[in-house]
Amino acid sequence: MKKTLGLLFLMMLTTLLAAQDVTVTGRVTSESTGEAIPGVSIMVVGTTIGTITDIDGNYSLSTQMGETLRFSFIGYNNEEVTVTSSTINVLMTDAWTDLDEVVVIGYGVQKRALVTGANVNVQGDRISEMNTTTAMEALQGVAAGVSVTRNSGAPGAGTRVTIRGLGTIGNSSPLYIVDGVAVGNIDYLNASDIESIDVLKDAASAAIYGSRAANGVILVTTKRGVRGAQPRVTYEGYYGVQNIYKNLTPLNAQEYMFIMNEGRTNDGLAPYDWETRIRNNSYLNANFPDQLGSQLGDYVWNKLQDGWEGTNWIHEMSKDNAPVQSHAINITGASNDVTYSLGFSYFDQTGILGGDITDAGYKRITARMNTEMIIFKNDRHNVLTVGENFTYTNTENRSVATGNIYWNDLHNALVTNPLMPAYWDQSPHSKGFTPTLEGVALGQHNPLAVMYHRHNYNWGKGNNITGNVYAILEPIEDLRIRSSFGVNAWFGHSRSWAPTYRLATQYSNTNDAATQEMYQGVNYTWTNTVNYDFAIDDHRIGLLVGSEVLENKLNFNVGGTKAKTIFGLPQYAYLDNVVAETISDIGTWGRDWAAQGGGLLSYMARASYNYQERYMLDMTFRADGSSNFARGNRWGYFPSVSAGWNFTEENFFDGLGFMDFGKLRASWGQNGNQSIPNFIYSSNIAYRPQGYYFGPDKLVSSPTAVPENVPNPDVTWETSEQLNIGLDGHFLRMRLALTFDWYKKTTKDWLVRAPIQGTSGAGAPFINGGDIENKGFEISLGWNDRIGEFRYGAMVSGAYNKNEVTRLANAEGIITGPPHVLSQGTSYISRVEVGKPIGFFYGFQTDGILQNQDEVDAYVGPDGRPYFEDQRPGDVRFVDQNGDGVIDENDRVMLGNPNPDFELGIRLNAEFKGFFANTTLTGKFGMQVMQSYRSFADQFTQNYTTDIFSRWHGEGTSTRIPRLSSSSHRNTNYISDIYLHDADYLRINNLTVGYRFDRFLSNVNWMEAASLYFSFNNLYTFTKYDGMDPEIGFGHDADWASGVDLGLYPLPRTVMVGVNVTF
């Protein structure tokens, strides 16, 4: 009885002590500098009670014994301390020095200090603060060795990403894994939903993903709840306006007529009679009452006589202050057994081209839900845990045409003559677009009307569902059995309507038409892993084995179109509204892949070892069996090994105080690539609705089943092998961080289509057709420090890469790009050749312009004969490379390389008493672009930009741009270096300045943090390139080609104001 009373007394005493009020005081200092930290937020966990430290780092807070205090400050790791006394002094560690931080690797996590591969980790807050359309854009200049090129400045255009150079002429994109599920890209994610991005650059890190990892791996972890944390609601939003950063200036009306006349006089022709040409509009006179063509001619000619400068089509097409906005809400929280994170976001970007004409733009709605629940646990560990991660995205994209010379609205604006007004009160068009001045240029139509008819009645929506459900069983401590079932589904539809209009002989549509298209596809992934971590004295061992099944269940794209039907209004333009008797006239197309499917069966294993976290060794192995290959070649095997040495843990490093941490790394591994269509090794039969003619008269085109491709049962894996040596170091009390990597990556047995005769009757087979080597180095330097309340940091990263093709399977050792890129009838620009980089520019080298008759007479071959019978002053002097006296295809050489030799990234940040600023700069050096804004070979009345004022028009006036001509001429028909431009640049990608109000919120119960900022994207570009933008991703229908500027949709300069609030 006495024992029982005594026990009850002790329990009551403990309870009273636990509930005892106490005023806690103390001082917060930096572990690295020993200095006081003012402004540290101190909160009683689970309550809204808190305070902040004063200028000397001191604080005072009333609470109760047994409560937990959380100390937090930007740039430091959070610290939690249980109240057991009235005095608590806290040392806070710098966040950037936390080598115990866990980073994501393939099928697991690992302490940063133990990583032996070449990995880059980027936290989500760094990504979201860039305010980019897609998350990958925010990696520009942040991750060394990761080259990110925006496809264009169009809303929703996406990016082109390569890791450590182009390793193939096929699909060079990395493998994207989001929460364990493979996806095609991560453009569907809102940046505010991302917790972190980890890039696996070397083969050893990526080998555990085997056949899909030849181009590197990008692992994305979305936000999730933190166990023990209180519910938190965060809003991140901004609103901005966009404008063209750098515009081109087409010739005005007077300049245009002068330049056109000069071309004619150079050819010995009379100048144009502009009045007659402008008044010659016979189509309008013949098809509309009241001599409409004559009215238009009089209107335009009179305006010109009054000094009208004509129409600047780029100005008419562009939209000033095009809005962009983003709003995101994240809700996170947890209980003892459940964590959750919910995200909802909306993004809306109006295009800077066509925004007022076609409502061009991009919208994205995203909803995300991540939860995890502990079903059963014991005193030592969680026994059974289940969870799920799901993201749904809905997108709507109304774009304008960007790309080649035939499908490019900006190109149209650059080349269309300025003599037409954009709008005319007497126009027969409902929107008032001025009809074509056929006497000036029969095929040059009003670019606004072309854009309107192409895009104003286009509707397209896409949907994406990505996620997984998983269960983790831990029967004994440190033995984890995980099973996950993931899905990546995409589906959508588009619809367009072509109304009736009449604006010219070659630009009219007498019957409206409707087109509809739908697509859908789904990938299923079932992953099972067993992971066991254990220690024997100072030896720590981790083992992982697993299997994975990937199945492409369904993937099809079908559509139909119907003309000669009067739908009348766009809201009725559905194929469903076609009358029954004309349904059979609907033209259909597409391909149903459901009968084929496709799959990948994989087994993987990893063994990790470290001794006292001083010596590390990792080995991985993966076996993949792919349905893309025939039975004898179906399996590929991908091993890797990596090792690390934390040499600063050695005794001989004691006393060398300047270096706080140092690690040497070395790795070797192999990855694969299986990016070819399913069952390409067999001869698949495809349906063609038109295209085959039967009978002696061949009058009717019949639908047919045809062989889709020439089979090749011997095609096998493309393999990438990589060697990497690296160094990680921290110096000067952890303020300076260094990472250096050297690598050599060899890709063998490219998967390419073989050249075949056009009479084969089927598509070209895939073969293993070449090898390539990429080698280079990457370096990152980071500095972070504090002077009192002023905190600042800098990061500089650089990457050098040399790309060289070492083997091609064909006899010539050459692969050529597509022709007709600069003009109809011109030869190809891009080329692949042994001993050269992928996609180099190929053409004639020039040696200036023939300035006078003496130089013309001296431009002769070895036999004394002139190179061209009609050569004259102002012509281009082409270099006779082989000295045979003839300028022909044998004289074409490598002119330049669109891929940079060196990429640079710079990040600067500073903060003082709540004020903050950060900026990111990116640069690419050692690259060129081919630029042509008009078709010299076949469209002689197209407009020029004012660069033409630098043409040759007399001795000494130009050494680069030849004389003008009004007809086709070798000066501009030959692909040569007169089109080549250096495109090195350094861009201020982002500048953000703002203020955090946290220090004023210590007594605000309902708000935890708030900030207001102003942000500028694409602020300024340092470059000698005279085009709109030197970042050119377009290469015309070839995965390996780039750097061709035909008038690419420019990147906008964006000014934004935003707020972030946490409740």
Which structural domain range is residue 82 located in?
21-93
If pLDDT is split at 50, 70 and 90, which confidence band does 594 have? Answer: very low
Q: What angle do CA 593, 596, 602 make, to 5 degrees?
A: 115
pLDDT score for 701? 60
If pLDDT is split at 50, 70 and 90, which confidence band does 584 have? Answer: low
pLDDT tens-digit series, residues 374-403: 999 998 889 999 999 999 999 998 888 887
pLDDT score for 5? 45
Q: Which two tokens stand for residue 422?
A: 């954009």
Q: Does residue 1043 carry a pLDDT above 60?
A: yes
If pLDDT is split at 50, 70 and 90, which confidence band does 757 have? Answer: low
**Domain membership flag for residue 37:** yes
**Domain membership flag for residue 134:** no
Q: Does residue 1036 carry a pLDDT above 70?
A: no
Q: Which of 440, 502, 505 is nearest to 300 (CA)?
A: 440
Residue 80 sits at φ, ψ, to 5 deg, of -120, 130
Contact between 152 and 1029 (Cβ < 8 Å): no
pLDDT tens-digit series, residues 307-318: 999 999 999 999
Q: Give the mean pLDDT of the chain.
A: 88
Q: Does residue 255 carry a pLDDT above 70?
A: yes
CB atoms within 10 A of CB 976: 21
pLDDT score for 1008? 86
> Looking at this protein, which amino acid is placed at residue 648?
T
Distance CA 352, CA 154 (A): 8
**Domain membership flag for residue 783:** no
Q: How far are the Cα atoms of 455, 498, 629, 840, 842 from residue 832, in angstroms, in the given order? A: 36, 40, 26, 7, 9
Least confident range from 67-81, 243-257, 263-277: namely: 67-81
More confident residue, 861 or 813: 861
**Domain membership flag for residue 873:** no
> Which are the contacts of 50, defined by CB distance < 8 A and separation ≥ 6?
41, 42, 43, 44, 61, 1002
pLDDT score for 10? 44
pLDDT tens-digit series, residues 619-656: 999 999 999 899 989 999 999 999 999 999 888 887 67
β-partners of residue 783 are: 736, 794
Q: Which of 550, 608, 606, 637 is nearest to 175 (CA)?
A: 550
pLDDT score for 596? 55
Q: In the β-sheet with 217-222, what is the strand arrangement from edge to edge? A: 119-123, 194-200, 217-222, 175-178, 181-183
CB atoms within 10 A of CB 289: 7
> Which are the contacts of 937, defined by CB distance < 8 A and separation ≥ 6?
822, 823, 824, 825, 826, 968, 972, 973
Q: Where are the beta strands (DSSP E) in 295-421?
A: 322-334, 338-350, 361-377, 382-398
Q: Does residue 333 carry a pLDDT above 70?
A: yes
> Which are the contacts of 569, defined by CB distance < 8 A and separation ≥ 6?
none
Give the DSSP H/E element, type plus range, for residue 9. helix 2-18
Q: Does residue 587 carry a pLDDT above 80?
A: no
Q: How far are the Cα atoms of 406, 608, 729 from residue 645, in angstroms, in the given order? A: 57, 14, 12
Q: What angle do CA 419, 420, 424 make, to 5 degrees?
A: 145
pLDDT score for 229? 76
Q: What would the mean pLDDT of 797-815 be, rounded to a whole number?
A: 92
**Domain membership flag for residue 33:** yes
Q: Where are the beta strands (DSSP E) in 420-578?
A: 458-473, 479-498, 501-504, 507-509, 513-536, 539-563
Q: Does residue 927 carry a pLDDT above 60?
A: yes
Q: How far are the Cα atoms of 173, 798, 829, 842, 930 from residue 897, in angstroms, in the given order? A: 20, 19, 11, 9, 10
Distance CA 1042, CA 841 (A): 9
User: In this structure, what CATH number is given to the domain that contains residue 61?
Assistant: 2.60.40.1120
CA atoms within 13 A of residue 348's CA, in its CB half-sphere: 10
Q: Does residue 7 carry a pLDDT above 70?
A: no
Q: What would the mean pLDDT of 1017-1036 be, rounded to a whole number?
A: 90
CB atoms within 10 A of CB 470: 18
pLDDT tens-digit series, residues 76-131: 778 889 999 899 999 988 765 556 677 888 898 888 889 999 999 999 888 888 88
pLDDT score for 940? 84
If pLDDT is split at 50, 70 and 90, which confidence band does 12 have? Answer: very low
Q: How many domains does the chain have?
A: 1
> Which are the contacts of 262, defined by CB distance < 8 A and separation ≥ 6?
953, 964
pTM: 0.88
> Looking at this protein, which amino acid is placed at residue 528?
N
Least confident range from 192-196, 364-368, 549-553: namely: 549-553
**Domain membership flag for residue 1020:** no
Q: Does residue 783 carry a pLDDT above 90?
A: yes
pLDDT score for 580? 58
Contact between 695 and 663 (Cβ < 8 Å): no
**Domain membership flag for residue 82:** yes
Q: What's the full length of the chain, in residues?
A: 1063
Contact between 728 and 661 (Cβ < 8 Å): yes
Q: How far are the Cα atoms of 23, 578, 853, 967 from residue 971, in angstroms, in the given order? A: 86, 53, 17, 11
Q: Which two tokens stand for residue 407?
A: 């499908």
Distance CA 720, CA 207 (A): 10
Distance CA 168, CA 299 (A): 57
Q: What would the mean pLDDT of 471-487 be, rounded to a whole number?
A: 96
pLDDT tens-digit series, residues 29-63: 987 667 788 878 898 887 768 888 887 889 999 89
Residue 227 sits at φ, ψ, to 5 deg, of -60, 130
Distance CA 52, CA 842 (A): 65
Q: Which two tokens stand for residue 961?
A: 């741009």
Distance CA 702, CA 691 (A): 6
Distance CA 383, CA 266 (A): 87
Q: What would the mean pLDDT of 719-734 be, rounded to a whole number?
A: 93
If pLDDT is split at 50, 70 and 90, which confidence band does 510 have? Answer: confident
**Domain membership flag for residue 78:** yes
Q: What would the mean pLDDT of 355-369 be, rounded to a whole number?
A: 91
At residue 329, the 3 state secondary structure works out as strand
Share of the chain above pLDDT 90, in %: 59
Distance CA 600, CA 553 (A): 12
Q: Does residue 882 carry a pLDDT above 80?
A: yes
Contact between 789 and 804 (Cβ < 8 Å): no
3-state DSSP helix/strand/coil % of the chain, to nearest 5: 15, 45, 40
Distance CA 217, CA 178 (A): 11
DSSP secondary structure code for residue 1042 in this structure: -
Q: Does residue 236 carry a pLDDT above 50?
A: yes
If pLDDT is split at 50, 70 and 90, which confidence band does 820 have? Answer: confident
